Amino acid sequence: MTEEIKPNSVYTTEGAQEYLKVSSSTLKRLLKNGILKANKVGGRYKILGYEILRLVSPERETKFEKLYYKLKDKTKRTIGKW
Taking only the tens place, the pLDDT of each residue in 7-41 is 899 999 999 999 999 999 999 999 998 889 999 99
pTM over 0.85: no
Is-contact 33 75, C-beta < 8 A? no
- The angle subtended at Cα 81 by Cα 77 and Cα 82, nearest 5°, is 125
- The pLDDT tens digits for 33-80 are 888 999 999 999 999 999 998 888 777 667 777 778 888 889 999 998
Q: 67-81: buried (b, 16+ CB within 10 Å) or exposed (e) per residue?
A: eeeeeeeeeeeeeee
- Give the separation between CA 31 and CA 47, rounded to whole angstroms: 10
> Could you tell me the domains of the chain?
10-81 (1.10.1660)
Phi, psi of 57, rounded to the nearest 5 degrees: -70, 145
